[in-house]
Amino acid sequence: MTPYDVIVIGAGIVGSAIARDLAGQRLSVALLDARADVGDGTSKANTAILHTGFDATPGTLESAMVRRGYALLSEYAFHTGIPIERTGAILVAWDDEQLAALPALRDKARANGYDHCEIVDAATVYAQVPDLGDGVLGGLTVPGESIICTWTVNLALATDAVNRGAALHTGHRVTAIEVGTDATTLHTSAGPVRGRWIVNAAGLGADHVDALFGHERFTVTPRRGELIVYDKLARPLVNRIVLPVPTARGKGVLVSPTIYGNVMLGPTSEDIEDRSATGTTEHGLEFLLEKGRRLLPRLLDEEVTATYTGLRAAIDHGDFLIEPDAAQRYLLVGGIRSTGLTAGMAIAEHVHGVLAEAGLPLRARTDLPAPPVMPNLGEAFIRPYQDADRIAADPQYGSIVCFCERVTVGELRDACRSVIPPAGLEGLRRRTRVMNGRCQGFFCGAEVQDILEREGAGR
């Protein structure tokens, strides 16, 4: 078995970004994931905000990565068609403690290289978000905060990696490791894979993989974040991200528009033990409804489209952990919290430098393919059912299957025939928005399943 030059464990946003970067060198690269599809773990369920890094801890690696990642991902999105809406954000102070915290938050933003925050009075806050509840005392504007499609980011990076020659191995859960003199053998649930260098970007499982290499550097604690998604009719209530003012008690609950035209309320923040506990809870949803009643009372009159839970990889360390073990030709990329969406491409850039310093020979390729052009899932941009020229060229783009989200036969067909086809209905949902609306697939689910099976995907 010929070893790969580099194996990246974890096909979430960070792992996919690293594989894409390294596949741009004269290296053989493999991207492994325990699940059946890319982006099926932590990366699929977050608040989907492209962060400026204004509130990161100055001087940390996370701060530097978020700031750099914001620029890199913005540029990459332009070339690949990843939808972004530059909504801006406003932190809202509801009591004297939060109001007093605003100057320090503005100063922190400046220390992080972001100079565009402005403290505003209550009248200005209500002018920007008229439907906020009573009692606002002031706010802090963050005009650069944006909403983005996290699903498309992950898929674009993984597709780019595969197009550049990386081998994608899904369904490969790492169970044991043998470090040899010339290569390391990863024993997985689908058989052994060998690599000269191993990069651990396994997210919630990063500490377990790290332990297999003999380290005891950190422990991942799953942090459950529950969210409520409201119907598109609620979108006029909030045209920007409404952030809480973080205090000693935590960051709190936000209200945000989504790239798909909905409104999101959440997340909760609860440390748990079960790394697979992605179901919502009664107490979590009750907590969010209580917060929403204070933040945006009219929102609770709107219909709920969905609820979901994401698990963040919280660790007992104050920063990202990107640490090489040159003797074992192994690199840990751990403790990447929800900012990994924004920071992913910068982390990949940083990993590139760390591996070069650790002895991995890197020579840039000159024959790279163009980045992939991704299907648009953003509600604010033209989608296939609205594109007369596209429908004229291919009538399947005018044949709607999912009426809640206006997803067409053409889009489902394209997803099933793409470079990384979906492993099942959930993967198809993340690639097209199908079954993501009011009826949650009740009306279209059978036809969608039929198309998936007819196209041969999901097998």
Ordered per-residue pLDDT tens for the chain, 459 residues? 899 999 999 999 999 999 999 999 999 999 999 999 999 998 988 889 999 999 999 999 999 999 999 999 999 999 999 999 999 999 999 999 999 999 999 999 999 999 999 999 999 999 999 999 999 999 999 999 999 999 999 999 999 999 999 999 999 999 999 999 999 999 999 999 999 999 999 999 999 999 999 999 999 998 999 999 999 999 999 999 999 998 654 568 999 999 999 999 999 999 999 988 889 999 999 999 999 999 999 999 999 999 999 888 888 888 999 999 999 999 999 999 889 999 999 999 999 999 999 999 999 999 999 999 999 999 999 999 999 999 999 999 999 999 999 999 999 999 999 999 999 999 999 999 999 999 999 999 999 999 999 998 765
Q: List Cα–Cα distances, 316 to 127, 218, 219, 313, 321, in angstroms.
A: 41, 6, 6, 10, 11
Q: What is the dihedral of CA 274, 204, 80, 159, to 10 degrees?
A: -100
**Token reading at 309:** 């839970």
DSSP state of 198: E
Q: 1-85+147-219+316-376 belongs to which CATH class? A: alpha beta
Q: Record the pTM.
A: 0.96
Among 356, 313, 304, 311, residue whose Cα is nearest residue 331: 356
Supply the pLDDT for residue 247.
60
Among 203, 210, 245, residue whose Cα is nearest residue 109: 245
Q: Is 316 exposed, middle or buried (0-12, 13-18, 19+ CB in 10 A)?
A: exposed
**Token reading at 324:** 């090489």
CATH second-level architecture of 89-143+221-313? 2-Layer Sandwich (3.30)
Answer for the pair 344, 17: CB distance below 8 angstroms, yes or no: yes
Among 228, 226, 308, residue whose Cα is nearest residue 269: 226
Supply the pLDDT for residue 250.
54
Cα–Cα distance measured from residue 251 to residue 89, given in angstroms and rounded to the nearest whole number: 15
